[in-house]
A and B are shown apart, each in its own frame.
Chain A
Amino acid sequence: MSWITRIQSAIHGMLTAGRLGWAIESNWTDPTLFLTYQVVRPLFGALIIVFMFKVVTGQPASDIAFAQLYVGNAFFILVIQAMTGVGQTIFEDREHYEMIRYIYLAPLGMGTYLVGRGLAKVFATTAAVALTLLVGYAAFGISYSATWIDIPYIVVAMICGIAGMMAIGIMLAAVTMVTAQHGFGIAEGASGLMFLLSGAVFSIDILPGWVAAIARAQPLTYWLEVMRRALLHQPFIESLSAMSNAAMLWRLVWVTALTVTVAAVALKSAEWLALSTGKLDLKTAH
């Protein structure tokens, strides 16, 4: 099979998995109710940040420090949904729908399938992120400084960001594949970890040195910094403020590439381990 055919086949598989993911996500109700479900949780998440800021500082919400927290938190919604969504796909297909053995036997490959399912989550969550940003502008007076010239910068950053979250989600899926399911702790726990390590709502400079080093080794830190710079034209992380926007984007690109490589290796290893220990379709829910 030529590499063009392979790419075509992978895209086809990804889109099919995406369509399946979208149907699982959304076709239990009408679009309006589905959209309501999608946006309520993130909006309240944003309100928590608003009140935490207001209670402590008493400053108006239009303050730049608030805007940086708000934007970081808004984009983190995508991380929660995409990353945990990919991770939970294994659990759903193994324990709930009991389809994982058939997916494994299908020719599209587990990685392609997981990315497709993750993309459906990203698509479903985009509206929530957009609405949260809009509420920030309309209700809290956050002024976004992005112009047309920032669009290509934002597009490249978004592609890298989504690839990064998918890669971390695939690592999570790899872990889920070889461990038992103890409620939804894995997904919630992993999003807590990334919430801490990506500096979504605080600068990673206040983390202890070794934790900050881990935060700098994963793509979401750079992605959120790039998005803040693009929308607010202000750096957030003091220790990275000397880096130009282009250098920051370049850092995001190669850290993402590295994360994707690690995720691919992790998934292959987990597949091998799950098969050799008989855990691939082992039901463990209690």
Chain B
Amino acid sequence: MNENLKTNLRAIWGRAYVRVVGANRELSWTIFDVALPLLAVFAFALVYRGLGAPEQYIGFVVVSGAMIAFWQNILWSMAAQFYWEKEMGNLELYLIAPVSRMSIMLGMAIGGLFLTATRAVAILIFGTWVFGVTYQVSSWPVLIVVFCLTMSALYGLGMLSSSLFMLFGREAWHTANLFQEPVYFLTGFYFPVRSLGNVVALAASAIPLTLGLDAIRQLVFAGSQVNPLFTVELELSMLVVATIVLNWAALRGLRYMERLGKESGRLTLKAQ
């Protein structure tokens, strides 16, 4: 195997290893990262139950709760991670390592995916059980493809954002916060995105999560009366485009921001 490829594969494994093994050495994460976030999802499901909403809305919340886990992972453990690495003094080590920055990011993604997938599965299983949600999946293969494409596009977005966070000071924390509720609102995490109106919904489809969530809802709640944003086929095509564009932009963005950081002297500037 090509020596360069082997080095990069080792970098991916090395970065993922820390997260997986680190988590399993301190099992308290199962409470804080899995059990407690589950309760926030329950709270939103109870809002719908309290309002006497049709049961499919509770199903929407459970599915969205699982997807929120991935969004939070991308936001805090991918996008904002280079900021933390800078603050902890690891960023310069990554930058002098003879590997692609994308390999480090991919390692973070894979390591984070283990924890996040556990949380998402727990939300799906317990949410379904507690609220008696029933699913009617129209096509498993398409569902799997939509989910994988959504994740690829989102992690591309995460890598692209990390290039910006690399140069951030304390605003990193506030900026990451800024991408929580506004994104939950615009992507229609808790209600069908169409209810925002056609123009806003169309603009929100620039975030791959909007498309992925809408397509997943259409596929797992087949026959639901709620208006979708687009057809699954169109959303699938848009996700393919988003995956290619975002991952390409991430590669370019990381190089550009690294150069910019070096020129402005902000790459290793801490506690600002």
Q: Are B50 and A202 in contact (CB under 8 A)?
A: yes
Judge whether A201 is part of the interface by a CB distance below 8 angstroms.
Answer: yes
Q: What chain A residues lie within 8 Å of B195 (beta carbons)?
A: 51, 54-55
- Closest beta carbon of chain A to B114's beta carbon, Å: 12
Q: SS class of chain B's interface: helix, strand, loop or mixed?
A: helix
- Chain B residues with CB under 8 Å of chain A are 18-19, 22-23, 25-26, 28-29, 31-33, 35-44, 46-54, 57, 72-73, 76-77, 84, 87-88, 115, 169-171, 174-175, 177-178, 180-182, 184-185, 189-192, 195-196, 271-272
| Whole-angstrom CA separation of A189 from B76 in the bound complex | 14
Known: A179-B28, A186-B32. 9 other contacts (CB 8 A): A29-B171, A44-B185, A47-B185, A49-B47, A52-B48, A55-B195, A182-B115, A189-B31, A196-B40
CB-CB under 8 A from A180, the residues of chain B are 22, 25-26, 28-29
* Interface size range of chain A in the complex: 35 or more
Please tell me which stretch of A35-43, A113-121, A150-158, A249-257 contacts chain B, meaning at least 4 of its Cβ atoms lie within 8 angstroms of it.
A35-43
Nearest-neighbour CB distance to chain B for A125, whole angstroms, equals 12
| Contact (A56, B52) CB under 8 Å given A48-B181, A195-B40, A201-B47 | yes
The interface residues of chain A lying within 8 Å CB-to-CB of B196 are 51
Q: In whole angstroms, how far apart are the Cα atoms of A188 and B49 in the complex?
A: 23
Give Cα A39–Cα B22 distance, bound, in whole angstroms.
35
How many interface contacts (CB-CB < 8 Å) are there between A and B?
Answer: 148
Residues B184 and A189 in contact, CB atoms below 8 Å apart: no
Residues from chain B with Cβ under 8 Å of A24 in the complex: 170
Which of A95, A183, A191, A206 is close to B33, meaning CB atoms less than 8 Å apart? A183
Q: Which residue of B lies closest to A185 (CB)?
A: B33
CB of A182 within 8 A of CB of B53, answer no
Cβ of B241 to closest chain A Cβ, rounded Å: 27
Contact flags A262-286 to B (C-beta < 8 A → 1, else 0):
0000000000000000000001111
Quick check: is A3 within 8 A (CB to CB) of the other chain? no
User: Top 9 closest A-B pairs, CB basis?
Assistant: A189-B36, A192-B40, A185-B33, A180-B26, A202-B50, A44-B181, A182-B29, A56-B53, A28-B170
B39 and A188: CB pair below 8 A?
A: no
